[in-house]
Amino acid sequence: IEPASDDVILAQMRRQAQVAIEKADVIVFLTDMRCGVTADDYEVASMLQKSGKPVILAVNKCDGIGEPPPEFYEFYNLGMGDPFPVSALHGHGSGDLLDEIFKYFPKEDTPEYDEEYIKVAVIGKPNVGKSSLINRIAGEERAIVSDIAGTTRDATDTIIENEDGKYVFIDTAGIRRKSKITEKIEHYSVLRAYMAVDRADVCVIVIDALVGFTDQDSKVAGYAHEQGKACIIVVNKWDAVEGKETNTMELQRRGYAECFSFMGYAPIIFISAQTGYNVNKLMQLIRDVDAQNGARVPTGVLNEMLARATAKVQPPSDKGKRLKVFYVTQISTRPPTFVCFVNQKALFHFSYQRYLENQIRAVFGLTGTPIRITIRQKGDKEDM
């Protein structure tokens, strides 16, 4: 695509590219490492971004073996996520590129919804109250409700629209189905929960207050975390907990926080699907964490934060050499993913990464979502 050209043939080609973009499920944007990032590349990138289709950025002519050269990292500036180094000549990188392309193949049998719908997976063990919760929300929110029988047999999608937003609740309640092979039920219910998580923006992990935390909860929550989904931990049946005192909730909250310490960002809320207690608050939380999962932080303010953070707590050093974080930029959302350019990866200790992550969270209010930080090292020549 030659974006700015009056040439008739080139204009024709551009139109053909436009048709291809419209018809595609996934787009590979091929750039040339030898030319570097050109003005046209930026034009094409913004054109592709407008298409709303998944775009994979491939950088061709990375002919050498091993780490790509420093100029490769310029391609991050296109804001299309991680670029894939490839060599059409030698075939390097084509496997990774194909794997990435494959990820975006349309999944058959799953209904698709517009971007404006917040897709919420309601997951948890049988009988914790997942169906009750969805019924309660559907009843309480003066909502338009419609059930779509999922073609993935047991999951049912419930669409809820109200003045605050549009939601699709993905229910995995079907897992209670009686089966002769009872020992397999647990296994299948976990698998089905994984499929629901894959389709969701927000994962609501429901726990029965009368039963408490189980291993299965941490398994499924861990999966949601790894997949970069916004998460909320919901302790249901709070109405049925006996002998509650003023600090019971706070004590329990601390207990659950410990069980889910690997996802400290996830809010914990106590509700009752039966009485409706805190259900409105849960809806608010769903909107909040969804917004945070999709948040985009401008590079300017991000680097102002970096300057303040590194001034406040000096980066670590080792054998006289100090970590320098040159630059940080957000490369994608869902979850918010940042790339830090540093002088030497090995100096970027986990504790300092944690510190920067917490700073990003605190400054930009990213509380309900996992965030990812990738580290890039500058080329050896600049490595001082």
What residue ranges bind ligand GDP (CB under 6 A)? 124, 126-132, 173, 176, 236-237, 239-240, 272-274
- What dihedral do alpha carbons 42, 47, 48, 53 form, nearest 10°? 150
Across the strands, what pairs with 123?
A: 205
- Closest approach of ligand GDP to the CB of residue 136, in Å: 8
Cβ proximity to ligand GDP, 56 vs 170, nearer residue: 170
The nearer residue to ligand GDP, 211 or 307, going by C-beta atoms, is 211
Is the preceding peptide bond at 335 cis, omega within 30 degrees of 0?
yes
Query: Measured from the CB atom, is 133 or 366 closer to ligand GDP?
Result: 133
**Alpha helices by DSSP H, 112-230:** 130-140, 182-199, 215-226
By beta-carbon proximity to ligand GDP, the closer residue of 130 and 225 is: 130
Instruction: Quote the least distance from Cβ 301 to ligand GDP, whole Å.
Output: 42
Buried b or exposed e, range 42-72, using 16+ CB within 10 angstroms: eebbebbeeeeebbbbbbbbbeeeeebeeeb
Token pair belonging to 167: 């939601």
CB of 165 to ligand GDP, least distance (A): 23
Smallest separation, CB 78 to ligand GDP (Å): 44
Which residue's CB atom is positioned nearest to ligand GDP? 129
| Least CB distance to ligand GDP at residue 249 (A) | 15
Rounded distance between C-alpha atoms, residue 355 and residue 351, angstroms: 6
- Separation between Cα atoms, residue 315 and residue 212, nearest integer Å: 41
**Cα 140 to Cα 365: distance, rounded to the nearest angstrom:** 29
176 versus 321: smaller Cβ distance to ligand GDP: 176
In terms of Cβ atoms closer than 10 Å to its own Cβ (0-12, 13-18, 19+), residue 89 is exposed
Q: Please, what is the minimum distance in Å from the beta carbon of residue 252 to ligand GDP?
A: 15
For ligand GDP, which is the closer residue by CB, 44 or 209?
A: 209
